[in-house]
Amino acid sequence: MSELFGTNGVRGIVNEDMNTDLALRLGKAIGTWIGKNKTVAVGTDTRVSNQMLKNAVSSALMATGNDVIDLGEVPTPAIQYYTRKNTDLGIAITASHNPPEFNGIKCINGDGTELIGDMEEEIEELYFSKNFELVEWNEVGQRTSDDPLELYKKAIKKKIDIKAIKEDEPKVVIDCANGAGCCLSPYLLRELGCDVVSLNAQPDGSFPGHESEPTKENLKDLIRLTKETDADLGIAHDGDADRAIFIDENGEFIHGDKILTLIAKEMVQEKGGGTVVTPVSSSSSVEDVVRENGGNLIYTAVGSPIVARVMKKEEAIFGGEENGGLIFADHQYCRDAAMTASKIVEMIVKEDRLSSLLEDLPDYILKKRGVECPDDLKVRLLEEVKKEFEDEDYDDTDGLKIYYDEGWVLIRPSGTEPKYRVYCEAQDEEKAEMLVSEHQDRVREILKELR
């Protein structure tokens, strides 16, 4: 496993493992890796430590002879779109859904996708070896600034039927979680023709409204406000606004796998087939609707960068994860909350209310649990888990996915936190609860034996 990079960049607690020394050193490694005389876009979410880390990374990039364009506090997908259109590389200073004491550094390739695999390994090697290539005094890079939001909004608007939305004027409540979506989503939705009610739409890196992970527990105010205002839809973002979670017109929280399945079905029907890509952690409902409508499904390891790369390689039309991070190939190869929100708004005005659209989908119960696990025990724990279930029908694309007659269980190490994830799916609540509890307990027991 990588010593530095997780599934979505480098993350840690500010001024502990995520500090200015790390940011400066990583910036030098990135700048050395891309070579001098390049242009790098750098943007942040709203976290308190964003300026501190952005300045350290930017200084290092300039020291290696590269120019920096400061994009300010903006959604990560806006940084990715700007990078693809205008620069050689991009960097997002964000820890996405993690608590406010965390921050992170995410690298974006020139095509707008996140760096993975060999590229991260090469940067990591430079980071640890400190073989940095700093330029002479008269070759250092310069820093300018730009606003990527108009370019980004224009790209989304091209893909959406604005006329249909303006004719219907749906009422939408948007919860920006005091994160990067504050500067974009309420304005975009209003420009599309929605009657917008905003919640937690003031940028604040301490996340006073609620924690930045858009879970049901954290979205109680959004659920209440959606019902009280008789809104047609509620929308929630995470801290860097690359994920979208929805509340239907009845105030019901909609799990991300339902929206992934719904849009996968819509996209395959629109295109008359095509390939959809999703991780092994996704609900079987995605495969059901894709195949029923003449499409092809490819499973990958967990992580949106992996999904995006496979989508590009296989010329897929759509992809995404069950956490609300969806990827539209004809827009850009990354998770995009604003695009997802716009698409769902378009669907409810052109087709039916969200609750009605979801009624036609296959019904599975998907559950997720966590088990705290130190990073240095993750590899050994997985080895023991594989031994434990070696006689079962399984898939080891990412961790271990075990298939049973009544459903499946996925056990895998988190790429962003010191824990193991335990996912489970079955066709009824009782079986799902039984499976996830049994396997969570067994993982804890194995971990206890390793300590």
> What residues act catalytically?
96
- CB-based contacts of 98: which residues, under 8 Å, 6+ apart? 11, 104, 212, 213, 239, 416, 417
H/E element holding 187?
helix 185-192
- CB-based contacts of 178: which residues, under 8 Å, 6+ apart? 46, 200, 201, 202, 203, 204, 205, 206, 207, 208, 209, 212
Query: In whole angstroms, what is the distance from residue 223 CA to residue 17 CA?
Result: 36
HSE-CB at 77 with a 13 A cutoff on CA atoms is 31
Query: In whole angstroms, what is the distance from residue 44 CA to residue 441 CA?
Result: 38
The residue whose two tokens read 């409540």 is: 173
Query: In whole angstroms, what is the distance from residue 156 CA to residue 390 CA?
Result: 46
Find the length of the chain: 451
Query: In whole angstroms, what is the distance from residue 232 CA to residue 235 CA?
Result: 10
Confirm if 166 and 193 have CB atoms less than 8 A apart. yes
Strands 89-93 and 195-199: unpaired
Query: In whole angstroms, what is the distance from residue 42 CA to residue 91 CA?
Result: 5
DSSP output for 396-416 = -SSSEEEEETTEEEEEEE-SS
The residue whose two tokens read 């330029």 is: 135
334's tokens: 């990354």
The 10 Å Cβ neighbour count of residue 436 is: 22
HSE-CB at 209 with a 13 A cutoff on CA atoms is 27
Where are the alpha helices (H) located in 229-336, listed in sequence order? 256-271, 284-292, 304-314
